[in-house]
Each structure stands twice: as structure tokens, then as C-alpha cells.
Amino acid sequence: MAAFLRTVFLPHLAGTRKRNSSLLLRSTSVIRWSPQKSFSKGFPGLQARVQPLPLLIAIGGGYVGYDQYERYRDRQLEKLGIAVPPRIANEVQVTIYKSIPTRLLSRAWGRLNQVDLPTWLRKPIYRLYIWTFGVNMKEAAVEDLQHYRNLGEFFRRKLKPQARPVCDSHCVISPADGKILHFGHVKNCEVEQVKGVTYSLETFLGPHTWTESFTVNRNEDDPGTFQDSLVTKEGNELFHCVVYLAPGDYHCFHSPADWRVAHRRHFPGSLMSVNPGVARWIKELFCHNERVVLSGDWTHGFFSLTAVGATNVGSIRIYFDEELRTNNPRYNKGSYNDFSYLTNNNQKGVTMRKGEHLGEFNLGSTIVLLFEAPQNFTFSLQPGQKIHFGEPLGTM
């Protein structure tokens, strides 16, 4: 009997052990056994293999999908004539966005733009850009694409002299090609970057110590609010206009009026996107971003033009200011640097004529005008309209 059991059952048991071992090995490719961690209270020692990257992608994809659905729903409500309040990013979302190294990426993009392209590659690259952003090369001073050695030269292309006639019958003209985001009176020291989303006038311009560079006729005993301190003449009001330059637009900007530039204030900051969608989402976006404030006066009092940087627009150039260096790693965010154009030898500052070349961006960005004018000043604009340099913004 013992011999019979050894002959019949032992080989069968051995085969069973092998099959069980093989099954156990295959199962470990899905589940691991750990004596230290538990998958749940009901199954001590069972641990699932969780991959963090797919999990993050799934969460991010779900959030983007939900966000797009919310935007679609808002558009449908707007089509029905129902007012939809703007959805403002919270502090956590803004902090996460600002943590992205956009300044470093913009400097890298700037260096890439200066790399000369092979002659045979220029037309395909530029034609793709023209098709993507709707560039009108018939207006360019040089239409031959092979003339532009690199992307930087193509971005900063000049226009034919007759392409942008300057309107002489209006006192303020558009300083650049772009889209009108918002315009109107400045109220309660708040400026609207788009409809329903505002930013602080004082945060945007900084302390009014720079007004010491030129004459300000205000009551020192009762200066009132920051907005009141900018109005130099009785009966005048403060106006603003925001022009957004898209990547396909002409990237130079010009003087919007006859005025005198007395002071420059450079704010190193973030380089978040300033497209209208982001401007509706992030409150005080223009105060977060790097910007150059040119301030002075014109025949009606205070006048300022601010060039606001954006992603891939680390370089803001002012033609008459060779000392200006934007998106420079030696400058820390949260500070500002002042420079006066009034010196002992030049008490007049820098005189600009309407339509005169003033500066340029390396890609699309934003121009903010803040100026004092009589109460009867009227804008001749519509929100969201396209405008070209030289066309009128408003008159009295």
C-alpha cells in the first residue's frame, strides 16, 4: 500500500505544488504581499501598485474636461442673454501658475529666437506661423520671408510707411495693433482689465513718488485718494484703455499722443499669459506680470503708457532707453526700479510726438494707457474690437 501511495499520489502532489507556485508567481505581477503595509483593513498585507504619473494625468485630464464643460456652459448662457459672472482663480491656483518658471522659459525662448535659421527652412517655418496666427505679410516692409534670418527678426518686422496712417483729427490714437479689452473711466482706484475683473491702480503704478519728476498741481493738505493725486487739473477725470497684442499682430508700439515722458518704473515680475481668457480668470493679472511704466504729462495733465510683459515676452524694449533690461535674473519679483529722464542738462524729459516709434515686444503682449482728460473726453471704441496703430481711440 505504501508503495502504491508513493507511486500514484506523490507525483500528483508535486505537480499540484508546481502549478500553485506558477500561479502565485503570475499573480505577483499584479499584487505584491508586504508585511509592513496594508491595502485595507479587511485585507492586511495587500498592497496595490499605484503609478503616480498616470494618476496625475487622470486627475489633470478630469479637471481640464470639467473646466472646458464649465466654459461651454457659460458660452451657451451668454448666447441666451444671461449674464455670467467671471470665474476668478483662487490664491492656490494663482500660486501654482506663478510657480511655473515662465521667466526662465521666456529667456530660453528669446535665445532660441536669435538663432539664425537655414535659408531653406525659413519659408516653411514662417509660413506655418503666418497660417497659425493670421499674419498679413502684404503690410510688411519686407515681404520676402527669406530676408528674416531668425524668428526674432520676423516678430519685430516693420510695416510699410503707408500701411498705418496716423489720424490727425483725434487727440489720442491706438499705440499698437491689437484688440480692445476694456476702456472707460477709472473709478474707486480700480481699473478693469476685462469686463468684471479689476486691479488696483496704486498696485499697478506703484507709489506716487514718481510724480515728483514733474509738476503736479494738487492740494497737498488734502491729496485724497491715489486716483485723486494723479489728476492735476480741476474738472478733469482719469481714463484708461487696454490694448492686447496677439502673437500675429505687429509687435512695435508707438506714441499715442503728443506728450513728455519724465519717468520710467520697471516692475520685475511673473510672465503669465495675458490673452483675454487668462485676463478674465486671474484678478490683478497685470499687477503680477513684469511691466514697464512710462509716466509724464500732456496738454491735459497726467499721461502714462505701460507695456505689460507676458509668457515668451521677456524682452520689452524702449527705443530711447538703453539702460532698460527686462526679464533679467538679477532683478527679483516684487520690487521695482525707478529711472528719471529729467536731469540737470535736460529738464524737459523725453518729448514724444503722436505716432512716433516708442518700443517693441518680442511677441504679443498688452499696452495699458492711463491718462487725465477733461470730462467731455469720449472713446470711439467697442469692447473686443480689432484696432490698428494710428486709428483713433477717442477725442473731446
C-alpha cell at 225: 485718494
Is 254 a catalytic site residue?
yes
Distances in Å between the alpha carbon of 143 and those of 140, 148, 151? 6, 10, 15
C-alpha cell at 194: 476685462
Q: Are 146 and 123 in contact (CB under 8 A)?
A: yes
**What does the alpha-carbon distance between residue 394 and residue 396 come to, in Å, rounded to a whole number?**
7
Q: Is 108 in a helix, a strand, or coil?
A: helix
Is 177 a catalytic site residue?
yes
Phi-psi domain of 390 (left: phi exceeds 0; alpha: psi -120 through 50; beta: other)? left
Three-state SS sequence of 201-220: HHHHHCCHHHHHHCCCCCCC
State the CB neighbour count (10 A cutoff) for residue 275: 18
C-alpha cell at 134: 493670421
The percent of the chain in helix, strand and coil, each rounded to the nearest 5, is 35, 25, 40
- The helix or strand, by DSSP H or E, that contains position 82, with its residue range, turns out to be none
Is 365 a catalytic site residue?
yes
Candidate list 182, 254, 288, 300, residue with the active-site label? 254
Candidate list 106, 295, 304, 365, residue with the active-site label? 365
DSSP state of 14: H
C-alpha cell at 217: 498741481
Candidate list 106, 170, 177, 270, residue with the active-site label? 177
Positions marked catalytic: 177, 254, 365
